[in-house]
Amino acid sequence: MNFDTLASKDSVEKTIAALKEHNVEAEVVKSGTEALERIKALVPSGVSVMNGASTTLDQIGYVEYLKSGKHPWKNLHVIILEEKDPAKQAQLRREALISDYYLGSVHALSESGEFIVASNTGSQLPHLVYSSPNLVLVVSTKKIVPTLTEAMRRLEEHVVPLEDARMKKVYGPQSGTRVSKIFTFKFEPQFTQRKLKMLLVEEDLGF
């Protein structure tokens, strides 16, 4: 299976319907530029935001926009980095787990409405699993696969080697990545009252 091919219209529509059954609202946008504009519309002024490392968010311009400071949100990430005391910084990281909004992506998404996110440290996983009440996930339609089994294949055979190569290029041959922790989303219970929004982008983004 070619994991870099954008999904067909039928596949995208099937995935959106399945996500709805799993209490995830999804919509299609044409490009990363459009995705960034939707984020600006979806995230209200004054709320706290946090995000994990994401090639997708970088590619659509979200990371640069956040760093610019020309936004109406409380950027918890920059507050953490500005704190130089290790103990205080660690406390801020813990407090950031309850950000009002968390933005990120996924590594693979099945037509049955399930998705996978893997991590080495696991730092972004609490937000996805429970702690942030609002999630906005930006996902290229190339990440859609037929089943959860294929989603795992996409992670292990496609994403991990590319991310490992990227990290070694950026940080040196002694670095790299590994799959230490994997989060599999299957359903969001309604009683949690969390809001999960997925922007499916018809553009080649991320790994």
Question: Where do the structural domains in the chain lie, given as residue ranges?
Answer: 9-201
Q: What's domain 9-201's superfamily in CATH?
A: NagB/RpiA/CoA transferase-like (3.40.50.10420)
- pLDDT (tens, 9 = 90+) of the chain, 207 residues, equals 789 999 999 999 999 999 999 999 999 999 999 999 999 999 999 999 999 889 999 999 999 999 999 999 999 999 998 999 999 999 999 999 999 999 999 999 999 999 999 998 898 999 999 999 999 999 999 999 999 999 999 999 999 999 888 888 888 888 888 889 999 999 999 999 999 999 999 999 999
> How many other CB atoms sit within 10 Å of the CB of residue 114?
21
Task: Give pLDDT, residue 91.
Answer: 95
Task: Give pLDDT, residue 41.
Answer: 98
Tokens of 87: 């103990």
3-state secondary structure of 127: helix
Distance CA 185, CA 114 (A): 5
The type of residue at 37 is E
> What's the CA dihedral at 45, 205, 203, 40 to 10 degrees?
0
Task: Give pLDDT, residue 175.
Answer: 85
Q: Which residue has the tokens 């609002």?
A: 134
Task: Give pLDDT, residue 171.
Answer: 84
